[in-house]
Amino acid sequence: MRRSAREVALDLVSPQRAVFLLLVVLLVAIVVVNPSFAEPGQLMRFLQRVAPVAIVAMGQFFVIVSGEFDLSMGSLVTAQVVGAGVLVGQDGSRTVPVLALMLAFGTLVGLVNGLATTFLRVPSFIVTLGMMLALLGAVMFWTGGAATGNPADEFRQIGRGGWREVPVLDFVPYAVVILVVLLVLALWYTHRPAGKLHVAVGDNVATAHHAGVRVWWVKTRAFVISSLSATVAGVLLVGYAGVHPSVGRGYEFTAITAVVLGGVVLGGGRGWIVGALAGAVVLEALFVLLNYAGVPSTVRSSVQGVIIIAAVAYSALDFRRRRSGPATTSPAGGDAAPAPGRGGDTSTTSPAHSGA
Amino acid sequence: MNRLRSLDPTVVVYLALVAALAIGALLVSTVGRNFFSAGNVRDILTGMSVLGLVAIGQTLVVLCSSLDLSVPVVISLSSLLAATTMAGDPARIVPAVLLTLAVAAAIGMFNGLVVTKLRVNGFIATLGTGLIVKGYLDTQYKGTAGTVPWEFQLLGATGLGPVPVSTILMLALATLVWFVLARTRVGHQMFAVGGDPVVARLSGLHVARPVIVAHVVCSLTAAGAGLLLASRLGVGSPTVGSQGGYDLLSIAAVVLGGTLLLGGRGSVWGTIGGVAIFAVLDNVMSVMQVNPFLKDIVRGVVIVAAVAVYTRRTLHAHRPRFGVGGPTDDGPVLGPADGAPATGQLPPAEEVAR
Amino acid sequence: MRRRTKVAAVTGAAALLVLTACTTDPTVTPPSESSPAATSEPAPEPEDSDEPGGEAPANEWFDQAMFDTQYAQRSVTPEGPADQPYLQHIDAEFVDTSQFASEGAKKVCFANASISNPWRQTGWITMNQQLKVLQEAGVISEMETRDAQDNDDTQIADIDYFIAEGGCDVFIISPNSTAAMTPAVERACETGKPVIVFDRGVQTDCPVTFIHPIGGFAWGIDTAEFLIEHLEPGSKVVALRILPGVDVLEQRWAAAEKLFAEAGIEAEDHFTGADPVKIKSIISDALARGEVHGIWMDAGDGAVAALEAFEDAGVDYPVITGEDELSFLRKWKETGVTALGPVYSNFQWRTPLLAVQKIFAGEEIPSEWVLPQAPITVDELDDYLARNEGMPDGHYAKFGGEDLPGYPEVWQERVMP
Amino acid sequence: MTTAPVLTARGLTKSFFGVRVLDEVSIEVRPGEVHGLVGENGAGKSTLMKILAGVYQPDDGEIHLAGEQVAFAHPIDAMHAGVATVFQEFNLLPDRTVAQNVFLGREPRRRGVVDVREMARRTQHVLDELGVTSVRPRDRVGSLSVAQQQVVEIAKALSHDAKVISMDEPTAALAAHEVELLYRIVRSLAERGVGVLYVSHRLKEVFDLCDTITVLKDGRLVSSGPADELGPDELVRRMVGRSIDTYFPGPLEGTERGTELLRVTGGGNAWVDGIDLSLRAGEITAVAGLQGSGRTELAEAIFGIRPFTRGSVEVGGRRVRVTSPRHAARLGIALITEDRKATGLSLAQSILDNVLLVIRGVFPRRTAHVRREADALMARLELSTDRLDREVQLLSGGNQQKVVLGKWLATRPRVVILDEPTRGIDVGAKVAVYDVIRSLAREGVAICMISSELPELLGIADRVLVMRDGRLVAELAPSATEEEVLRHAAGAEVSA
pLDDT tens digits, D94-103: 889 999 999 9
Mark out chain A residues that contact chain C at CB-CB < 8 A. Answer: 34, 36-37, 42, 45, 49, 52, 143-150, 160, 237, 240-247, 249, 287-288, 291-292, 294, 297-298
User: D131 and D31, same structural domain?
Assistant: yes
User: B46 and B172, same structural domain?
Assistant: yes
Task: Kindly report, residue by residue over B239-283, the tens digit of the pLDDT.
Answer: 999 988 999 999 999 999 989 998 999 999 999 999 999 999 999
Q: Is residue B286 part of a domain?
A: yes
CB B176 to CB C14 under 8 A? yes
Last residue of a domain, one of D186, D211, D244: D244
User: What pLDDT is attached to residue B353?
Assistant: 29
User: C350 and C208, same structural domain?
Assistant: yes
The nearest alpha carbon in chain A to D17 belongs to A334
Is residue C143 within 8 Å of C127, Cβ to Cβ? no
User: What pLDDT is attached to residue C234?
Assistant: 92
Mutate which of B64, B207, B322, B329 to test chain D, going by most D C-beta atoms within 10 A?
A: B322
First to last CA, chain C: 56
Burial annotation C149-178 (CB, 10 A radius, 16+ → b, else e): bbbbbbbbbbbbbbbbbbebbbbbbbbbbb
Q: Is residue B31 part of a domain?
A: yes
Type of residue found at D459? G
Q: Is residue B65 part of a domain?
A: yes
Task: Kindly report, residue by residue over D143-162, the tens digit of the pLDDT.
Answer: 887 778 878 888 888 787 78
Q: What are residue D201's phi and psi, to 5 degrees?
A: -90, -15
Taking the whole predicted model, whether its pTM rises above 0.90 is answered as no
CB C60 to CB B142 under 8 A? yes
Strand stretches in B263-343, DSSP E: none
CB B333 to CB D306 under 8 A? yes
Strand stretches in D326-419, DSSP E: 333-336, 415-419
Chain B: partners with 3+ C-beta pairs within 8 Å: A, C, D
User: What pLDDT is attached to residue D427?
Assistant: 67
Beta bridge partners of D310: D268
| Nearest by CB: B39 against C10, C165, C250 | C165
CB A211 to CB D361 under 8 A? yes
User: B204 and B283, same structural domain?
Assistant: yes
CB C281 to CB A298 under 8 A? no
Q: Is residue C167 part of a domain?
A: yes
User: B346 and B201, same structural domain?
Assistant: no
Is residue B50 within 8 Å of B167, Cβ to Cβ? no
SS3 breakdown of chain C: % helix, strand, coil, rounded to 5? 45, 15, 35
User: C303 and C210, same structural domain?
Assistant: no
Q: Which of C277, B129, D134 is nearest to A48 (CA)?
A: C277
| Nearest by CB: A330 against D56, D329, D343 | D56
User: What pLDDT is attached to residue D399?
Assistant: 85
User: D294 and D224, same structural domain?
Assistant: no
CB C301 to CB A244 under 8 A? yes
Chain centroid, CA C348 distance in Å: 10
Return residues 265-324 of D near A (CB < 8 Å): 303, 305, 324
User: C399 and C283, same structural domain?
Assistant: no
Q: Is residue C5 part of a domain?
A: no
CB D270 to CB B329 under 8 A? yes
Is residue D19 within 8 Å of D396, Cβ to Cβ? yes
User: D256 and D212, same structural domain?
Assistant: no
Return residues 360-389 of C near B (CB < 8 Å): none
Chain centroid, CA D381 distance in Å: 23
Chain C: partners with 3+ C-beta pairs within 8 Å: A, B
Q: Is residue C38 part of a domain?
A: no
User: C182 and C237, same structural domain?
Assistant: no
Q: Is the pLDDT of residue B29 over 60?
A: yes
Distance CA A59, CA A255 (A): 9
Q: What are residue C172's phi and psi, to 5 degrees?
A: -115, 130
Give me the half-sphere count of Cα atoms (radius 13 Å) on the Cβ side of residue D332. 16
User: B350 and B215, same structural domain?
Assistant: no
CB B186 to CB C47 under 8 A? no
CB C308 to CB A298 under 8 A? no
**CATH code for position B200:** 1.10.3470
User: C299 and C257, same structural domain?
Assistant: yes
The count of structural domains within chain C is 2
Is residue B111 within 8 Å of B126, Cβ to Cβ? yes
CB D348 to CB A270 under 8 A? yes
Mutate which of A47, A141, A246 to test chain C, going by most C C-beta atoms within 10 A?
A: A246
User: D199 and D329, same structural domain?
Assistant: no
| Nearest by CB: B197 against A302, A320, A350 | A350
Alpha-carbon separation of residue A144 from A32, C183, C328, D421 (angstroms): 47, 32, 20, 64
The burial of D124, by beta-carbon neighbours within 10 Å (0-12 exposed, 13-18 middle, 19 or more buried), is given as: middle
Q: Is residue B320 part of a domain?
A: no
Distance CA D96, CA D90 (A): 14
Mean of pLDDT over chain D: 85
Angle between helices A95-118 and A153-160 (to 10 degrees): 60
Q: Does C304 touch chain A (CB under 8 A)?
A: yes
Name the CA dihedral angle for C404, C410, C415, C417, rounded to a multiple of 10 degrees: -30
Q: Is the pLDDT of residue D355 over 60?
A: yes
The nearest alpha carbon in chain B to C416 belongs to B291
CB B39 to CB C156 under 8 A? no
Is 1.10.10 the CATH classification of the domain at A36-284? no
DSSP string, C18-42: HHHHHHT-GGG--TTPPPHHHHHSP
Return residues 320-379 of D near A (CB < 8 Å): 324-330, 335, 337, 339, 341-349, 353, 356-362, 364, 367
Distance CA C162, CA B289 (A): 13
User: D366 and D474, same structural domain?
Assistant: yes
Q: Does C335 touch chain B (CB under 8 A)?
A: no
Q: Is residue D495 part of a domain?
A: no
Q: Is residue C323 part of a domain?
A: yes
Alpha-carbon separation of residue D288 from B319, D273, D420 (angstroms): 22, 16, 10
Q: Is beta strand D34-38 parallel, antiparallel or unpaired with respect to D195-199?
A: parallel
- Reported ipTM exceeds the 0.90 cut: no
The count of structural domains within chain D is 2
Task: Kindly report, residue by residue over A194-216, the tens digit of the pLDDT.
Answer: 999 999 999 999 999 999 999 99
CA triplet C38, C44, C46: central angle to 5 degrees?
Answer: 130
User: D258 and D228, same structural domain?
Assistant: no
Helix (H, G, I), strand (E, B) or coil at D49: helix
CB D16 to CB A211 under 8 A? no
Q: What is the nearest CA distance from B18 to chain A, expressed in angstroms? A: 22
User: What pLDDT is attached to residue D123?
Assistant: 93
User: B244 and B145, same structural domain?
Assistant: yes
Q: Which of D289, D287, D276 is nearest to D464 (CA)?
A: D287
Is residue A171 within 8 Å of A160, Cβ to Cβ? no
- B252 CB neighbours in chain A (<8 A) are 126, 129
User: B347 and B308, same structural domain?
Assistant: no
Q: Alpha helix (H) ranges present in C148-234? A: 152-161, 178-189, 216-230
Return residues 194-233 of B near C (CB < 8 Å): 209, 212-213, 216-217, 220-221, 224, 227, 229, 232-233
- C245 CB neighbours in chain A (<8 A) are none
Chain centroid, CA D184 distance in Å: 25
Q: Which stretch of A74-88, B324-338, C247-261, D402-416 has the lowest confidence by average pLDDT?
A: B324-338
User: D340 and D250, same structural domain?
Assistant: yes
CB C180 to CB B40 under 8 A? no
Per-run averaged pLDDT (10 residues), chain C, 417 residues: 45 42 35 37 39 46 92 92 93 93 94 92 95 95 94 93 93 93 93 94 92 94 96 94 85 94 92 91 91 93 92 93 93 95 95 96 94 95 93 91 92 87
DSSP string, C96-156: --GGG---S-EEEEEEE----SHHHHHHHHHHHHHHHHHHHTTSEEEEEEEE-TT-HHHHH
Q: Give me the domain span that covers residue D420.
A: 246-490
**CATH code for position D14:** 3.40.50.300
| Nearest by CB: D93 against B192, B337, B347 | B192
Distance CA A52, CA A40 (A): 20
CB C275 to CB A34 under 8 A? no
Q: Is residue C301 part of a domain?
A: yes
Average pLDDT over residues B56-75: 96
User: C266 and C161, same structural domain?
Assistant: no
> Residue C172 carries which DSSP code?
E
User: D346 and D386, same structural domain?
Assistant: yes
User: What pLDDT is attached to residue D469?
Assistant: 85
- A36 CB neighbours in chain C (<8 A) are 288-289
Q: Is the pLDDT of residue B333 over 50?
A: no
User: B140 and B78, same structural domain?
Assistant: yes
Q: Is B326 left (phi over 0), alpha (psi -120 to 50) or beta?
A: left
CB C276 to CB A34 under 8 A? no
Is residue B221 within 8 Å of B272, Cβ to Cβ? no
The count of structural domains within chain B is 2
CB C394 to CB A146 under 8 A? yes
User: What pLDDT is attached to residue A337?
Assistant: 30
Task: Kindly report, residue by residue over D211-241, the tens digit of the pLDDT.
Answer: 999 988 888 888 888 888 887 777 777 776 6
The burial of B191, by beta-carbon neighbours within 10 Å (0-12 exposed, 13-18 middle, 19 or more buried), is given as: buried
Q: Is residue C274 part of a domain?
A: yes
User: B330 and B302, same structural domain?
Assistant: no
First to last CA, chain B: 27
Q: Is residue B57 part of a domain?
A: yes
Q: Is residue D330 part of a domain?
A: yes
Beta bridge partners of C198: C211
Q: Give me the domain span that covers residue B141.
A: 2-314
Distance CA D240, CA C35 (A): 91
User: B337 and B219, same structural domain?
Assistant: no
Q: Is residue B155 part of a domain?
A: yes
Average pLDDT over residues A181-205: 94
User: B310 and B176, same structural domain?
Assistant: yes
Task: Kindly report, residue by residue over B172-215, the tens digit of the pLDDT.
Answer: 999 999 999 999 999 999 999 999 888 898 888 889 999 999 99
Is residue C70 within 8 Å of C214, Cβ to Cβ? yes
In percent, how much of chain A has pLDDT > 70? 84
Mean of pLDDT over chain B: 85
Q: Give me the domain span that covers residue C312.
A: 216-340
Q: Is residue D187 part of a domain?
A: yes
Task: Kindly report, residue by residue over D268-323, the tens digit of the pLDDT.
Answer: 998 899 999 999 999 999 999 877 788 889 999 999 999 999 999 999 889 999 99
Q: Which of B152, C199, A345, C237 is nearest to D394 (CA)?
A: A345
User: B345 and B230, same structural domain?
Assistant: no
Sorted by where each begins, the domain ranges of chain A are 36-284
CB C52 to CB B142 under 8 A? yes
CB A241 to CB C301 under 8 A? no
Q: Is residue D1 part of a domain?
A: no
Q: What are residue B262's phi and psi, to 5 degrees?
A: -85, -5
Q: What is the nearest CA distance from B230 to chain A, expressed in angstroms? A: 23
CA triplet D114, D115, D121: central angle to 5 degrees?
Answer: 135
Mutate which of C124, C242, C281, C331 to test chain A, going by most A C-beta atoms within 10 A?
A: C281
Q: Does C4 touch chain B (CB under 8 A)?
A: yes
User: C352 and C207, same structural domain?
Assistant: yes
CB D269 to CB B319 under 8 A? no
Q: Does B77 touch chain C (CB under 8 A)?
A: no
